[in-house]
Structure 1
């Protein structure tokens, strides 16, 4: 399994501040990014897996809405997470 509880705890500790801070916007964006990267690699070898493609589109939309929220509330945190995760812009 690609997303074990240890991997989740590591992501939350790095981006959320602690392992139990699962609700912070940065931690959720980092988790979605990890899942998006995994699904993208899966779809490179399985082009006709349309269910996974749909799940990927939904995850990208969720991440986009969280990033939009972060832009509205705190632009510096937005810029930091974009730079840290090597996303666009």
Structure 2
């Protein structure tokens, strides 16, 4: 199942301030987190030996980590809010 624009715009509306604001760092972190959760929960449950998909998952995790690092440098308050809201850094 493809990750369509409607789900992406809904996440952007919830985290980025508007449905079309998918470019802000907070919305990007939320979108990538949703993709990571879907891969971990659904795809790798069925396809446990998918090593190429696992490499893509590692790339998504790295991209999210870099975005969070950028967000922490720019606005510590926004970083804390998004981390708590998404349940990251347990």
CA–CA distance in 2 between the matches of 1:2 and 1:88?
28
Greater relative CO, 1 or 2 (CA 8 Å, sep 6+): 2
Further displaced range: 56-65 or 17-26 = 17-26
Unpaired segments ≥5 residues, structure 1: none
TM-score by length of 1: 0.93
Structure 2: which 5+ runs fail to align?
Answer: none
Alignment match, 1:17:
17
Residue 49 of structure 2: SS of its match in structure 1?
A: coil
Distance 1:55 1:39 in 2: 10
How many aligned residue pairs are there? 89
Separation (CA, whole Å) in 2 of partners of 1:16 and 1:54: 28
Give 1:5 shift: 1.7
Corresponding residue number in structure 2 for 1:43: 44
TM-score when normalising by structure 2 = 0.92
Q: What RMSD, in angstroms, separates the aligned Cα atoms of the two structures? A: 1.1
Deviates more, 1:64-73 or 1:43-52: 43-52
2-structure distance, mates of 1:45, 1:34 = 18
